[in-house]
Amino acid sequence: MTSAQVGQRVAGFIAACRRQGVKATRQRMEILRELAATGEHPDAETVFSRVRRRLPSISLDTVYRTLHMLQEKGVIARVPSMQDRARFDANMDRHHHFVCTVCGRISDFYSAALDSFAPPPAVRALGAVDSVHIELRGRCRKCRSELKKNK
């Protein structure tokens, strides 16, 4: 995401706050800006340490509270994870993830084929499907080359 796009995203959120009678605080802006600027799907602690560079007095609790609020409002998403910490994603376009089982890195990818996937009939018995998410697991480029080096 370009810096201009991030700016737009934040501006849009400010407008949404006004509309919903929610305060557009500096903390909220910076947290969203930080998340929108990266494709890394960071955890709360990572967002905290980065936002802190611009808002040195921000608290970790505010980061957690804000990330949850943004998720509730549908502005960002929480990514399911095998690890024991929550990870977040500002990319709300329909997309999927490649997860490196070595370093934990999560990368986005898109698939027209999956976007038009129709759930099998057996699924209808389970419930109403709202969305489809693919997780590909493997070893990322970086981890593969490091693996090669060490052998």
**Residues binding its own copies (CB under 8 A):** 78-82, 84, 86, 98, 100-101, 107, 109-114, 117, 119-120, 122-123, 125-141, 143-144
Helix, coil or strand: residue 18: helix
Among 88, 97, 99, residue whose Cα is nearest residue 133: 97
Q: How far is the CB of 84 from its own copies (least distance, A)?
A: 7
CB 67, CB 31: distance < 8 Å: yes
Q: How far is the CB of 101 from Zn ion (least distance, A)?
A: 8
Q: How far is the CB of 36 from DNA (least distance, A)?
A: 17
CA distance linking residue 86 with residue 88, whole number of Å: 7
Choose among its own copies, Mn ion, DNA, none what residue 39 binds, the Cβ cut-off being 5 to 8 Å by kind.
none
